[in-house]
Homo-oligomer: A and B are copies of this chain.
Amino acid sequence: MESFNTENEFIEWLRVKALDGDHRVKAGIGDDAAVLAFKRGYEVLLKSDMSIEGVHFKASLHPPRSVGHRALARSLSDIAAMGGTPKFALVAIALSTRSNHSWLKSFYHGLFALASRSGVAVVGGDTAAVSEATMVDLVVAGEVEPGRALLRSGARPGDAIYVSGWPGASALGLKLLMKRPRLSRGFLIPPRARTSAARVRTPFNPRHALQAHLYPEPRLALGRYLLKHRLASAAMDISDGISTDLGRLAEASGVGAVVQENLLPKPPNLRLRETDWLKRALHGGEDYELLFTVSHSKVPLVPRAFQGVPLQRIGEITKSQALRLVGQDGRERELEPGGYDHFRKA
């Protein structure tokens, strides 16, 4: 009996076994969200994302509102990466008997707040009580212009690679939180709706990193902007870190990539050793920023920032299927995936 060494192997097995060749399925297993032709000329996006206590959040670190916000943000971010508009959400929650109903209410308050300002109606779900870890599965259904969804598979050699915001901020926030869990007390509710770390132009401070981690802002408007102006040849969201997710995008497109370390976005006035920041920027997960590619001719059309969120060119798509990193020293080396992989053997 064969077994799976990595999550990618498992996903590949699934892709072959599932009815993915179905003509109604425009994109399925292996992209950010499924693109489904329910009827001719009408496409629906569908995405499921789990949030598991001890894996995606810790009851001791993450306030329940943040858990609710992040659970939904994860799925919304995938819809954003397709250039879609989210419409409806289903919430399945297996609540640990260690958590009380006050926790559950705060969880929903955090989730509803983000749903409401994203135009998403929570329309159902499932509930259960479990003795062990709390588990949430969040499903979002949305719309996208038929035939226009931003896929992972459209990158071509020569395309420029961009990221939005400051990947690494969430990992930094988590580190701060682990050192001083009491910091979360300032974030029992989202600091201010519609602000986010990436919109801050003033010196970056720990508060921004904590906000990026606890209340990440899905880049819905940016995704729609990229689709509308046909700027992106491929796109996905960064949930497991640039090094892991860029590899997935490259694989889906049958290409390689080279990333310039000195182009990785670095927040202004960050008080952190540069190498510490770069490690997080490359490998830190849960940023929910967008990673997208732009054909050479369209690069001049990409704004430096979109609604206050910086858009930074970090490298280029290559023909060779390798993933390379050009260091600060100008030397090129292999860019190894350093993000989280649920199936990797420890």
Contact = CB atoms under 8 A, between A and B. Distances in A.
Given A29-B123, A29-B125, A124-B29, A143 B18 contact: no
B38 A44 contact: yes
Given A94-B135, A128-B52, A121 B19 contact: yes
Interface string A281-298: 000000000000000000
A108 interface: yes
A165 B20 CA distance: 33
Contacts of A20: 121-123
A323 interface: no
A92 interface: yes
Contacts of A17: 108, 112
Nearest to A47: B124
Interface stretch (A1-9, A190-198, A210-218, A329-337): A1-9
Given A112-B18, A124-B28, A50 B137 contact: yes
A139 B48 contact: yes
A188 to B, nearest CB: 15
Contacts of A42: 38-39, 42
Contacts of A125: 29, 48
A42 B104 CA distance: 34
A123 B15 CA distance: 9
A141 B140 CA distance: 11
A94 to B, nearest CB: 6
B88 A46 contact: yes
A87 B46 CA distance: 12
* Stoichiometry, copies per complex: 2
A128 B342 contact: yes
A12 interface: no
B34 A123 contact: yes
A29 to B, nearest CB: 5
A117 to B, nearest CB: 11
Contacts of A161: none
Nearest to A33: B124
A121 B52 contact: no
A167 to B, nearest CB: 21
A24 interface: yes
A49 interface: yes
Given A38-B143, A135-B135, 18 more contacts: A18-B122, A19-B122, A25-B121, A28-B121, A36-B87, A46-B124, A47-B124, A48-B91, A48-B126, A49-B92, A49-B126, A52-B94, A52-B130, A55-B94, A128-B342, A129-B343, A130-B133, A130-B135
Interface of A: 1-4, 7, 10-11, 13-14, 17-20, 22, 24-25, 28-29, 31, 33-34, 36, 38-39, 42, 44, 46-50, 52, 54-56, 87-88, 90-92, 94, 100-102, 104-105, 108, 112, 115-116, 120-133, 135, 137, 139, 141, 143, 342-343
17 contacts: A18-B112, A18-B121, A18-B123, A22-B123, A24-B121, A25-B121, A29-B125, A34-B123, A36-B88, A36-B123, A38-B141, A48-B126, A92-B92, A126-B137, A127-B343, A129-B343, A130-B135
